[in-house]
Structure 1
């Protein structure tokens, strides 16, 4: 699903440390840096089944992997990323509900490098998965 968002509201929902890091960036620069949906890891199909159950299809270097989980999307995606050679650690997690959806910001560490990923979606689990992928794609 594609959301129309107010990027200023989205940035305002970010944690203070990310707002400080991105001070002086235009909304486009913020989006280009922290919301990388294209890269080594891509999210294909997303299905929120019920309550805390979801299925996500991920693409890694030309092959697909489907992740079905109940509960934490962070745990499920971290495990799938690790299995595919992306041992990512989530250092900070910040999520806030806005008028246009759930905004999620994650600070990831991968191969000794740290960076933020950000996303907004109707569903908090989808927002989490998209933010984690954006974080990974800043390094990969």
Structure 2
């Protein structure tokens, strides 16, 4: 009888790379389904409803180093509101929006990998008191990253 694949080997099958250091040790005894369920929760108090770059009509090559402007609809618990922020990228803008909504998330680590399953983003974030990993998967790199930040925020809220 063969043992079921460990998360490390399953991850290597998908991405040809090891899990990020720190997460690797945290999920060492979990099967891959449990890793996904625990680090990319479908529910939680923080939910991202809509996302857009409001100055997308200007090509990035014409923007130079200045920040871009973003708008999102974010739910925190039962409260839903539209937020705007400027940031060097979508992840930076989302963390500004979350802070404004009372959800502090400072990113400590960011890993994004591509595979046949899609783009998977792992982020390690802190609320100043403790740190958690979040994970997002999408065919779009930005959606994957934003999902990972929201997953991290929800894990920090628990």
Length-normalised TM-score, structure 2: 0.71
Higher-Rg member (1/2)? 2
| Range with bigger deviation, 23-32 or 66-75 | 66-75
1:87-121: CA deviation from partner (whole Å, max 9, x where unpaired): 21101111112123211000010141111000111
CA contact (8 A) 1:67 1:77 kept: no
- 1:22 is matched with 27
Cα RMSD of the aligned pairs, angstroms, is 2.7
Q: Could you say which structure has the higher strand fraction?
A: 1
The 1-side partners of 2:83 and 2:29 are apart by 38
Runs of 4+ in 1 over 4 A off after TM superposition: 10-13, 46-55, 67-71
Length-normalised TM-score, structure 1: 0.79
Larger RCO (CA under 8 A, 6+ residues apart) = 1
Which consecutive unaligned segments of at least 5 residues does structure 2 have?
Answer: 1-9, 61-67
- 2:3 is matched with none
Q: How does 1:78-117 map to 2 (within 5 A)?
A: 78-117=95-134
